[in-house]
Amino acid sequence: MLKFDAKTARLLDSAYQGADITRRRQGSFDALQPAPGEIIMDVGCGNGLLTAELARALGSSGRVIGVDPSDDMRKSAIERCKDFDWVEIVEGSVSQLPAGPESVDKAVSVQVFEYLSDIPGAIKEIHRVLKPGGRLVIGDIHFDSLVWFSNAPDRMARMIAAWDHHFVERSVPALLQPILKQTGFAVEAIHPITICDHQLRPDGLANMMIILMENFAASNGHMSPEEAREWATEQRTLAAEGAFFFSITHFVVSANKM
């Protein structure tokens, strides 16, 4: 489990509101096409950034249901959405959504499916709660798209292999299309959002991943603390020297319930 001190937590909160992750969130928002009066479920709402954006788009005639299994994340989402009476933040998971059959107009999930051991079951559960013709948008990274320069490629490979332990599935976007079709969805579009950095920006995805990956690899015994620290230090040194390069692609998959 990842644990952060107050300084690191502030850095990560800044990254989630920074340009890179905002672009990813915006991609899902645009694909969802929220409209006033709709009922939208944010599956794995986390700290509620997308939930609040949907609430503003729907207005008081609509309803947003934010679902998350984490007490800490739900507390953050409740605080962020406290001015929107039409937002409900509830405990739940994608395997057992707190909604009746055919009760939701649209559903969205951003960077959740990579942590699921039963993706077909999750798609089936979302299909259950969506109304006929309802829209589903799933945003996730395909980690095979990761390109990250290092002068120590073997160490970089070990760090990436260590990071793979923190999720279940690294290639979600490539798997979704047949699962969606088999469950009764018509896939409309798959839109790539590539983040490519030659600078290490404080609010960027790369900087956030360096913080998370060093902590995770060392804390869980996948690398020694010294090697993890050397990996992170090298990336910051490359950035200072103008030799930093990082690229990864997030995919937004849009589908409609048939």
- pLDDT, tens digit, for every residue of 200-211? 998 899 999 999
The domain ranges of the chain are 6-257
Tokens of 240: 């200072």
For 39, the token pair is: 């009922």
Q: What is the pLDDT of residue 4?
A: 47
Question: Using 50, 70 and 90 to split pLDDT, how confident is the model at 72?
Answer: confident
CATH code given to domain 6-257: 3.40.50.150
Residue-wise pLDDT tens digits, 118-141:
999 999 999 999 999 999 999 999
Please state the rounded mean pLDDT for residues 186-193: 98
pLDDT digits (tens, 9 = 90+) for 19-52: 999 999 999 999 999 999 999 999 999 889 999 9
What pLDDT sits at residue 31?
98
- Lowest average pLDDT, out of 8-17, 176-185, 245-254, goes to 8-17
- Is the predicted pLDDT of residue 198 greater than 70, yes or no? yes
Find how far residue 151's CA is from the centre of its chain.
Answer: 29
